[in-house]
């Protein structure tokens, strides 16, 4: 009954019945090396900071960092957040020298500008804030 009343009230006042959605950045997961390379190549000519989260489904610290990364993606909408499972895309992880999870690689204009190894929320936040503000 409350839902019908609420809907009727909004219609009577010419108010939209849906709440506008806030645009949120999201974490993009890649499961194909080819798709990752195409995406990576498309970002090489931009000044946008890209944070790659190298993760694994069996990794406890990675699971701890997942909501942190989602929060960062919502907060830093000018930064691109990418998630790569090291077991699915082992060659990509190897290219970036990933030896422990989680590893966060920060890239700008196609070049690695920084790296965080481990579930270091504060360290990652500081590096994101440092590099998103820098112009190369």
Residue 7 lies in a domain: no
Q: Are the C-beta atoms of 54 and 86 separated by less than 8 Å?
A: yes
The pLDDT value given to residue 46 = 86
Report the alpha-carbon distance of residue 98 to residue 92 in Å, rounded: 9
Residue 100 lies in a domain: yes
Residue 2 lies in a domain: no
- 18 burial (CB, 10 Å; 0-12 / 13-18 / 19+) is exposed
- Residue partners of 64: CB distance under 8 A and separation at least 6: 119
The pLDDT value given to residue 45 = 86
The pLDDT value given to residue 20 = 41
Q: What is the CATH number of the domain that holds 54?
A: 3.40.30.10
The pLDDT value given to residue 106 = 97
Residue 125 lies in a domain: yes
The pLDDT value given to residue 134 = 67
The pLDDT value given to residue 11 = 43
Domain that includes residue 113, residue range: 28-131
The residues assigned a catalytic role are 59, 62
Residue 53 lies in a domain: yes
The pLDDT value given to residue 51 = 97
Q: Give 10-residue mean pLDDT values along the chain (136 residues).
A: 42 44 70 92 90 97 96 95 96 96 96 96 97 72
Residue 95 lies in a domain: yes
Residue 48 lies in a domain: yes
Number of domains in the chain: 1
Residue 101 lies in a domain: yes
């Amino acid at each position: 009954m409350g839902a019908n009343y609420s809907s009727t009230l909004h219609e009577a006042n010419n108010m939209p019945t849906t709440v506008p959605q806030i645009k949120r950045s999201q974490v993009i997961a890649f499961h194909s090396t080819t798709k990752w390379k195409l995406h990576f190549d498309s970002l090489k000519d931009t000044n946008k900071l890209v944070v790659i989260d190298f993760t694994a489904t069996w990794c406890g610290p990675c699971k701890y960092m997942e909501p942190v990364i989602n929060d960062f993606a919502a907060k830093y909408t000018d930064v691109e957040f990418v998630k790569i499972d090291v077991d699915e895309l082992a060659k990509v992880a190897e290219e970036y020298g990933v030896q422990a999870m989680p590893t966060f690689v920060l890239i700008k204009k196609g070049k690695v500008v920084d790296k965080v190894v481990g579930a270091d929320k504060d360290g990652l936040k500081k590096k994101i804030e440092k590099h998103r503000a820098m112009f190369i």
